[in-house]
Structure 1
């Protein structure tokens, strides 16, 4: 089985590659900089150097492929347009090479097609691949636990900051669980057509839920705090982010605050096992213990 994996150094792609190795598959990994791959990964994989925006390069990388794992990275000053372009490239390569199966890393909210900021680009990407002639599964993933690691400064001050209302619950998921689902889909040949599959973690969580769990794990108080869209936008502009990118980021929360109905319901298939508590105990709590804002510092 010839399986092609894009973004093999990413937090999901790297885990998919590891699972394919354990399954006895030598995957084709498409990467801009092979030096970022661990020596063992290079040894066990066929490495193709390519830019995912380069149609000719992606066509070469997917030649002879039975399955493709397509993870579109967020790129450039207009990520919605970049996702659209990445969808066109992937669909053209799939058609050119007759790739039978494609597993797409998408997101909850992509079903709306409009009103979810950056995620609107994933909706466009889905549509391009739906027209590729391949069997396609779009993995509609929840909010990654690991996104919290991008906001350690606020967390060290005891704040779980979000543009969402502190009690609004949405699906949260571990990257490991997304990789499990993607690898299983890639290895299976017993599916066809166009389908979506929720990858939703074990439970929907709010900022208040996250704060309560961190309070227990770290042993000092955390609180959830909603940050207004205009405040976030101003912060992003202050670090040089262009208007299209600012809108893409701010628009995601606006979509999740809306009443758009989630297409992929929570059920036995979409519910994945890793809890926020177990993930945070391993990956986040060690970063927060002993840092700024200990119980004594907070009075």
Structure 2
């Protein structure tokens, strides 16, 4: 089976690539700069330099591919949803022109709403566009990445996380490595066809208060959490250098799931993965909080 992987150096993608290599597959990896691949991995893959927003380049890079792991690339522009639409055109062209038979798409919890969830609306657009191609597709509806906490190292070092969600609202938290395991399994498995939605919920739904308790225990630092207003979060995101459009798209991912949201797929043995936040934080986060590389 010829498998192509996008964002092969990302939080999920680099685990997908490693898993496929361990399975005996030599994947084709699509990325802007092949030099960013880990040195030990460069001889195990076929690297193709490509801009995912360039539909012609994506079509050329995926010629002869049987299965594709697609991740919409991150965007920092004023109009994130327009960028998602451009990336969607690329994957639809690739699937259609090259008759790629199977796609595993990294989506998100919340995409089932289709509208009103900020950047996640872009993922929903990709889902519906892939559905329209008739390809066998699995949409991975992923929970909140543990690695998102790495974007708040300064706040963690100061001892307080600030969020706009209710502090006692539970949500799915998941390790990117566990998402990659599900993605690779789906890419390799012949046991499914048609349109599938596979939620990836991590081992437990956690409230922000519980997250603070877990991080305190795992890092040895007292960490609390407080709820702030949407406008206060907007100010923080602007201060971080985000454009107005990106600020609203990022904020919308929280505010759009704040009121009575229930995921399309409930937590079951099929959606539950094993890596706990405590284990991940102990292995990956405590050193970074302490300022150790």
Structure 2 length normalisation: TM-score? 0.96
Shift of 1:167: 1.1
Q: Say if 2:219 and 2:285, in contact at 8 Å, map to a contact too.
A: no
Paired residue secondary structure (2:270): coil
Note the alpha carbon deviations across 1:71-130, whole angstroms, 9 max, x for none. Answer: 112212222221122112101110111101000000000010111111011000111111
Deviations 1:187-226 (CA, angstroms, capped at 9, x unpaired):
1122111010100001001110011112222334221111
Unaligned ranges ≥5, structure 1: 292-299
Query: Any residues of structure 2 matched to 1:233-272 within 5 Å, and which?
Result: 233-272=234-273
How far apart are the structure 1 equivalents of 2:239 and 2:225? 24
Residue in 1 that maps onto 2:22: 22
Provide the residue aligned with 1:164 in structure 2.
Answer: 165
Q: Deviations over 1:155-182 (max 9, x none)?
A: 1111122221111111000011000000
Residues 226, 31 of structure 1: alpha-carbon distance in 2 compared, 3 angstrom cutoff: same
How far the C-alpha of 1:289 sits from its partner, in A, is 4.5
CA contact (8 A) 2:84 2:122 kept: yes
**Partners of 1:265 and 1:66 in 2: CA distance:** 31
Q: Indicate the larger mover: 249-258 or 237-246.
A: 237-246
In 2: Cα distance, 1:132 partner to 1:151 partner: 39
Shift of 1:60: 0.9
What is the alpha-carbon distance in structure 2 between the residues aligned to residue 218 and residue 39 of structure 1? 31
Q: Which runs of 5+ in 2 are unaligned?
A: none
SS at match of 1:10: coil
State how 1:220-239 maps to structure 2 within 5 Å: 220-239=221-240
**2:46 corresponds to which residue?**
46
Q: Deviations over 1:13-45 (max 9, x none)?
A: 111000000000000000111111123222111
C-alpha contact 1:95 1:133 (8 A) present in aligned 2: no
Matched ranges for 1:108-119 at <5 A: 108-119=109-120
Asked if the contact 1:160/1:210 (under 8 Å) is kept, the reply is: no
What is the SS of the residue equivalent to 2:256?
Answer: helix
Counterparts in 2 of 1:1-299, with a 5 A limit? 1-75=1-75, 76-289=77-290
Quick check: 208-217 or 106-115, which moved more? 208-217
With structure 1 as the length reference, what TM-score do the two structures score? 0.94
In the alignment, the residues of structure 1 paired with residue 60 and residue 271 of structure 2 have an alpha-carbon distance, to the nearest angstrom, of 34
**Matched residue of 2:222: which SS?**
coil
Change (3 A) 1:159 1:176: same
SS at match of 2:173: strand
Contact 1:207/1:224, CA 8 A, preserved across alignment: yes
C-alpha RMSD of matched pairs (Å): 1.4
Go from structure 1 to structure 2 and tell me whether the alpha carbon gap of 1:245 and 1:220 turns closer, same or farther (over 3 Å shift). closer
